[in-house]
Structure 1
Amino acid sequence: MDNIKVSVIVPVYNLSQYISSTLDSIINQDFNSYELIVIDDGSTDDSLDIINEKLSKSLIEYKVIHQENSGVSSARNCGIKEARGDYLVFVDGDDYITGNHLSELYNGESDFSLIQLIKKDGEKLSTPHHFSKRQISWDDLIKMELNMDIPLSFCQIMYKTSIIKENNILFNTDAIYGEDIEFALKALAYGRDVAISNEATYYYIQRGDSAIRTSDFRRFDIVKIFEDLAEFYKELGKNDLADLIITSRIPKAIFGNMNYFFYNNYDFDEVISKMEELDLFTKLSKFEGDKKFKYKIKLFLLNPKLYYNSWKKLKNSID
């Protein structure tokens, strides 16, 4: 097929329960001129057999690549290298998209475009965000994410391939948490405006056995990801974005992940010990923002145990 407009990249590792539905959702798009690149990252189940059988019966342009198990970032990077489309779209192998996902994203003009995402946890569905504008600057979108004013996932975005390849933007293969949003926030900095659709066309399936949920304190790796991103923005002369990371995004990430550990009954002393090891108390204290959240941080820093006991009491009363 000539003139491929979009390359859809799907990493797969032991997803035999889900990959068939994912592929069906990609095959059945109301959009022409796209290719599907599936990277099997050393699956030990029958994922690869399902992929080959499913795609061999389809009419779309596709390529299946098998590699030794190297992680999801390596698989996505492999897909980027192989992509021939003008734009890139990422779909995880256990998620699915609606039939108009590509047509909602593609306009052939914007550097980036964005649709809305729904998180699906069993029968529970999240409420997608609604933008008041049809187009915003990349700078404004990044600031909204760094302030955590909006939920933003890398898979909501369609990326111009030339921007990604010419600037050598790749997924961080050393990280298992935060590498996806790092990719998006780096890529956006090289573009112009972002086209917005309020259509919710991506369904992110939350699974209890995912890599993120089984990675213990690796969730705190997000702090290093954002510190590196702050240095990246400084090199681009975007000191305002770098400052926003230090004074907003990092403290919020620390506090959010800390509460995640408490909510999931991690040992208090182990959580505090890890936070001390990573100097997260100092980084929490740098928060500048809304007074209510700053007050919560101040209470925690004054007496972590008291905060924890009060939080636990409140949680139990709600449960």
Structure 2
Amino acid sequence: MKLEMPKVSVIVPVYKVEKYIEESIRSICEQEYRNIEIIIINDGTPDSSIELAQKVASSYSKTLTIVNKQNGGLPSARNVGIKVATGDYLCFIDSDDMISTRHISDLVNVCEKYKTKVAYADFQLTHETNRYGENITHNVTSCIKHNILLRGFLVRKFKIHCCALIIDRKYLISNDLLFDEKLRYGEDIDFMWRLFPTLDSIAYTGNNTYLYLQRSGSLMTSQNMERVITLLDNFKITVDQLLSNYPDDRQVLKYLYGKAALAFYRTFAETSSYELFEELLIKTNYKRNVWKVVFIGNIKLSLLTISLLVSPRLFADVVKQMKTR
């Protein structure tokens, strides 16, 4: 029997978040779970974010481990955090998000209960006018087996946010699972799809304790388009490797690239001009990328794919209407 609860390393990359960092750090300091180390990765932020984080932590008599690095983006910051962490488990908290007081205790408890290497909590979307979200508790824990996890994650039955995970640190390192530092967009989905096929099962807390901040005014630009193209190119390599390494999962993985591409196109259509969206489609040979999704066995995804194949304009109109509902 363990005399002490496992140690959890909370990794917080920081870059230009002085407007949000205080509430984020406060939510970590107020965790019910006590055996925590808070690791701040200063990704070359030019503002006062680090000083504000230190001020909040000091008010709770908490010590921050601060690692300074040149700006390299979120994947590289998280990787640095993984390498310096000393906890049994680790989790990632984005520095403009918050977590409910029971978030880490819930995650550790279900990992220990079901003897899994990874667990996740639900997330809820919050806004700048209400960063604390709603206190909705389901409290029905479960253990999701490998095949159900992969299929459910593919079709979004399980909506899993990378920052709502807790992961066994030694397992992550032994499987050489780091974030792809070439990516400046979509690094979370790439990371989770390299992680999940390695798992026998994943534990689920049943509670929406991760508070994800939706910032207003985020628009896709030509620069973003190049990042999406980079993601599509690199994710194709990831999927090919998964198909080679996990042949027993082929019935799920054969749809993965098309489903991911459809999701990337959807996000771009929601947040860009139609002209820019059309340019992205042309540059990436979209029909070749998504046609398999018609046969994925999910009516909503099949219809959405058909609308894109038949009329990109219709697809763009549909997804923008869906977003406003």
Q: Give the TM-score of the pair, scaled to structure 1.
A: 0.84
**Residue 20 of structure 2: aligned partner:** 18
Higher share in helix: 2
**Contact 1:37-1:64 within 8 A present in 2 as well:** yes
Among 289, 292, 304, which residue is 1:283 paired with? 289
- Indicate the SS of the match to 2:38: strand
SS in 2 for 1:89: strand
Give me the whole-angstrom Cα distance separating, in 2, the residues matched to 1:115 and 1:303. 37
Q: Report the alpha carbon displacement of residue 282 of structure 1 after superposing the two structures with TM.
A: 1.1
Give the equivalent residue in structure 2 for 1:30. Answer: 32
Bigger shift: residues 182-191 or 40-49 = 182-191
Q: Please give the per-residue CA displacement for 1:19-66, whole angstroms capped at 9, x wherever unaligned.
A: 111110001111121111010100111112112233334333530111
Which residue does 2:193 correspond to in 1?
185
- Which residue does 1:230 correspond to in 2? 239
Q: What is the TM-score when the length of structure 2 is the normalising length?
A: 0.83
1:183 maps to a residue whose letter is F
The one-letter amino acid of 1:298's match is: I
Matched with 1:200 is 208
Q: Determine helix, strand or coil for the equivalent of 1:171.
A: coil
- 8 Å CA contact 1:129–1:151 kept in 2: the answer is no
Q: Tell me the CA shift for residue 140 of structure 1.
A: 2.2
Q: Does structure 1 retain, via aligned residues, the 8 Å contact 2:122–2:206? A: yes
Alignment-derived partner of residue 117 in structure 1: 123
Aligned twin of 2:156: 148
Q: Does 1:271 align with 2:277?
A: yes
What displacement does 1:129 show?
Answer: 11
Q: How many residues align?
A: 311
> Aligned-pair distance for 1:96?
0.4
* SS class of match (1:145): helix
Partner of 1:23, secondary structure, is helix
5+ residue gaps, structure 2, are none
CA-based RMSD: 3.2
2:228 maps to 1:219: yes
Q: Does 1:134 align with 2:142?
A: yes
Match of 2:107 among 94, 105, 108: 105
Distance 1:294 1:85, change over 3 A: same
Q: How far apart, in 2, do the equivalents of 1:64 and 1:144 lie?
A: 37
- Higher mean displacement: 91-100 or 192-201: 192-201
Is the contact made by 1:147 and 1:244 (CA closer than 8 Å) also made in structure 2?
Answer: no
Matches within 5 A, 1:288-303: 288-289=295-296, 290-291=298-299, 293-303=301-311
The alignment partner of 2:28 has SS state of helix
Matches within 5 A, 1:91-102: 91-102=93-104
- Residues 229 and 295 (structure 1), Cα distance of their counterparts in 2 relative to 1, 3 Å cut: same
Distance 1:198 1:272, change over 3 A: same
Do residues 72 (structure 1) and 74 (structure 2) align?
yes
Change (3 A) 1:265 1:40: closer
Verify the 8 A CA contact 1:220 1:257 in the aligned structure 2.
no
Distance 2:35 2:139 in 1: 28
CA distance in 2, matches of 1:187, 1:34: 23
